[in-house]
Amino acid sequence: MTTRTIRGRRGALWLRKLVSTLGTVAVTFLGLLVVTFLIGRVVPVDPVLSVVGDRATQAQYDAAYHALGLDKPLIEQFWIWLQKVFQGDFGTSNLTTRPISQDIARVFPATLELATVSIVIGTAFGIPMGVWAAVRQGKLIDQIVRVVGLVGYSAPVFWLGLMGLLLFYFKLDLISGPGRVDISYEYDFTPKTGLFLLDTAMQGAWPAFRNVFSHIILPASLLGYLSLAYISRMTRSFMLNELAQEYITTARVKGVPEWRIIWVQALRNAAVPLVTVVALSYANLLEGSVLTETVFAWPGLGQYLTNSLQNADMNAVLGGTLVIGAIFVGLNMFSDLLYTLLDARTRNQK
């Protein structure tokens, strides 16, 4: 009886929080769209050019101008666009001549796959490094981890990418070059999910899998390294915090083995805020892949956005920004909620 009312009350609270969060998100999005739209209109690139090309006559030009709705007032253009978005229609890209939703569905898996592999690498290396540094606080290892992290913060990713390509691809021939898969393997599998590692593995196309893997490993390692810098640093500080807690001392007195104290008890509690850190890194990877995608000719969302922007293909830019913004805000919200949830549980356990 009591639990039910508590649960009910908590539910109401959750609901209220959800509503207010959604309101916030809606306002953020609207702002995002207005800003993007306005930027798009001041970019000194003529969008008609991508439609009719350089050699069109004035009449052809005018017809395209009209067809794009550019002769209407700005507010009206925005309103028309907004209405369509609510019906799930992002419009058509001037550049690719396809529906933008279709374009994004095509390019997004590439970015998603890269970011996911990167975050796996970043987490797999970053957390142990951070833990290690915390345990050996002030010692050489701590310094090394710190420097490794700072190097990650300091290196221009596009340059690291070029150097990595030069070394591992051009000179040592250890990995495959730019792009997602060699053309000779492209027909060995059907891109059902668009995540090539998953597709090839599910269809048992192992040579293709290896090829896809040898393509993704370098860009993912680089991006992973960048997120590693952040993750290891945060892990270190969370771990230091936990290791100073009373329950650790208690455990030590009780004679719990040191590795268990560090890797199980302390890390479990540090894991709560770490989830947020990892989620944020993930969001950053998704949005921050523009330069990496350029260097590695990775046909992802970053490249799509840059390309659309340079061609003043504003509907495509708006659609892409909306998706990235949505992911960003979504992951933020998700990590918030997860944090609340996990935090409550760990507190109960203590």
Rounded to whole angstroms, what are the CA distances from 345 to 6, 12, 291, 340? 16, 19, 40, 9
Q: Please report, as residue ranges, which positions from 183 to 202 form the binding site for other proteins (by CB under 8 A).
A: 183-184
Answer for which of 134, 276, 325, 342 binds other proteins (CB under 8 A) is 325
Q: How far apart are CA 142 and CA 271, in angstroms?
A: 20
- Min CB(57)–other proteins separation in Å: 6
Residues 6+ apart with CB under 8 A from 293: 111, 114, 299, 300, 301, 302, 303
Q: Please report, as residue ranges, which positions from 105 to 124 form the binding site for other proteins (by CB under 8 A).
A: 106, 121
The answer to the question of residue 271 lying near other proteins (CB under 8 A) is no
Q: How far apart are CA 205 and CA 189, in angstroms?
A: 7
The answer to the question of residue 237 lying near other proteins (CB under 8 A) is no
Per-residue interface string for the shown chain with other proteins, residues 59-88, x marking contact by CB under 8 A: xx--x-------------------------
How many of the chain's residues bind other proteins (CB under 8 A)? 105
Answer for which of 68, 115, 197, 222 binds other proteins (CB under 8 A) is 222
The answer to the question of residue 130 lying near other proteins (CB under 8 A) is no
Say how many CA atoms lie within 13 Å of 316 toward its Cβ: 30
Which residue lies nearer to other proteins by CB, 245 or 306? 306
Which tokens go with 292? Answer: 């990496």
Select from 10-18, 75-83, 90-98, 264-272 the region that touches other proteins (CB under 8 A). Answer: 90-98
Q: Please report, as residue ranges, which positions from 25 to 44 form the binding site for other proteins (by CB under 8 A).
A: 27-28, 31-32, 35-36, 39-40, 42-44
Which residue lies nearer to other proteins by CB, 256 or 287? 287
Are 191 and 157 in contact by the 8 Å Cβ rule? The answer is no
- Min CB(69)–other proteins separation in Å: 17
The answer to the question of residue 55 lying near other proteins (CB under 8 A) is yes
Answer for which of 81, 132, 196, 225 binds other proteins (CB under 8 A) is 225
Sign of CA dihedral 211, 214, 215, 217: positive
Query: 320: closest CA among 293, 338, 296, 280?
Result: 293
Query: 315: closest CA among 110, 85, 67?
Result: 85
The answer to the question of residue 204 lying near other proteins (CB under 8 A) is no
Select from 23-31, 66-74, 78-86, 336-344 the region that touches other proteins (CB under 8 A). Answer: 23-31
Per-residue interface string for the shown chain with other proteins, residues 275-304, x marking contact by CB under 8 A: ------------xx-xx--x--x-x--xxx
The answer to the question of residue 207 lying near other proteins (CB under 8 A) is yes
Cα 285 from chain centroid (whole Å): 4
Which residue lies nearer to other proteins by CB, 265 or 292? 292
Query: 32: closest CA among 328, 281, 308, 277?
Result: 328
Residues 6+ apart with CB under 8 A from 190: 199, 203
- Min CB(80)–other proteins separation in Å: 20
- Min CB(24)–other proteins separation in Å: 8
Per-residue interface string for the shown chain with other proteins, residues 138-177, x marking contact by CB under 8 A: -----xx-xxx-xxxxxxxxxxx-xxxxx-xxx--xxxxx
Q: Label residue 99 left, alpha or beta by phi (over 0 means left) and psi (-120 to 50 means alpha).
A: beta
The answer to the question of residue 58 lying near other proteins (CB under 8 A) is yes
Secondary structure letter of residue 167 according to DSSP? I
Residues listed for the chain = 350
